[in-house]
Chains A and B, each alone.
Chain A
């Protein structure tokens, strides 16, 4: 099973700042990595697929990069609604799908 490790566990920033979230895979997942945002009491929302492609309706301030084992989700300028938990997900080891443990982005 491929293990995804997200860092940091918690990130404290202010609105307007740049957020950089990391996801590291225990073995290569090529570019088969997605990012989700989850707010309290809500289902996750797909942000990024195939490492760097924004899902439909996702603002341009969200971007993804990386390949192989190291991936990054960047939020260029934080809006108040961006404070949430973020998960990465891989599907390279098909048909096994795994998620990272999450990064909590909180208001400083």
Chain B
């Protein structure tokens, strides 16, 4: 059974960089059948796709966030990571990592989510 687990600080100051890591267990992040994605959900609101990465390192970002987002992968640790720079209160959200199926680009496994609050 594939499991994903987010980790990282729950509080980030405005203008700083948000950094999260997703650890994948029960399957290899190097499988060519999947993409590895970040999705967020502000409190009480809907879902927003942030971007994803392929095991080779190819990345695809939401155009609205592209200038501030970096997603990277560490296949040796079976992890992928998110960095979001110059954060504001509008970036406060539950951040999910998820596995996307390469042939379909929907998401079949999700982490439990981690709340990141941007506040001084």
Residue numbers of A with Cβ under 8 A of B are 1, 32, 34, 36, 42-46, 49-50, 55-56, 87, 89, 91, 94-102
Q: In whole angstroms, what is the CA distance A56 to B107 when docked?
A: 12
Q: Is the CB of A44 within 8 A of B47?
A: yes
The chain B residue with its CB closest to the CB of A89 is B106
Residue B96 is within 8 A (CB to CB) of chain A in the complex: yes
Contacts of B113 in A (CB 8 A): 43
Q: In whole angstroms, what is the CA distance A98 to B101 when docked?
A: 16
Q: In whole angstroms, what is the CA distance A1 to B65 when docked?
A: 13
* 15 residue pairs A–B, Cβ–Cβ below 8 Å: A32-B105, A34-B106, A34-B107, A42-B112, A43-B112, A49-B101, A49-B106, A87-B46, A87-B47, A89-B47, A89-B106, A94-B105, A96-B49, A97-B62, A99-B49
| 9 tightest A-B CB contacts, nearest first | A43-B110, A34-B106, A91-B105, A95-B60, A97-B49, A99-B47, A49-B106, A101-B46, A46-B108
